[in-house]
Amino acid sequence: MLHTRSVLCFALAALFSAVAYSSASAATVRCASEGFEYTRCPADTRGGVQLLEQLSDTTCREGENWGYDRRGIWVDRGCAGKFEFGRRYAANDFYQDYTSREYRRDYGASSAEETVRCESLDNGYKRCPADTRGEVQLLEQLSDTTCREGENWGYDRRGIWVDQGCRGEFVVSSR
């Protein structure tokens, strides 16, 4: 009964949101790695991020010297750019809430989790294939190097990446 009521509320809220707000407007931010240092720029990245314009001589490559996570956009090693963020449909907010780990835990919806081992050997960059549409968390650090999300590990739509000696096991929760 509670699950059926939740699904009905979700459907009504999504329908209302789609009608009332056909799409949220996008915003832009300039984010630059000054002196080739790591920089984080606050942004609401739930709707995704896109590099609109490269402002540096250094080529900006997503997942290598720029990326994003829940805390914002990050740049490193000389990348500077103008980034667009926040473009999404309002109904997606309700969908993300409905499919969250907390919802699945509280209301018993199914969730599949997989563990992915990803290791930066010789301090090099490494990308590990994974379905990252859900949540990604560091389950266990395997390296002496401290693994810090957004600095030497992160994820995007192509998988999990590690760099600068971070080695770990990551739990990936599918929607």
Please tell me the predicted confidence (pLDDT) of residue 174.
Answer: 67
Positions of the chain with pLDDT lower than 70, given as ranges: 1-25, 87-112, 174-175
Give residue limits of the domains in the chain.
27-85, 112-173
Cβ atoms of residues 29 and 48 within 8 Å: no
- Looking at the DSSP bridge assignments, the partners of residue 116 are 170
CA dist 142 and 166 (Å) reads 8
Is residue 112 classed exposed, middle or buried when 0-12, 13-18 and 19+ CB atoms within 10 A define those classes?
exposed
- Indicate the average pLDDT of the chain: 76
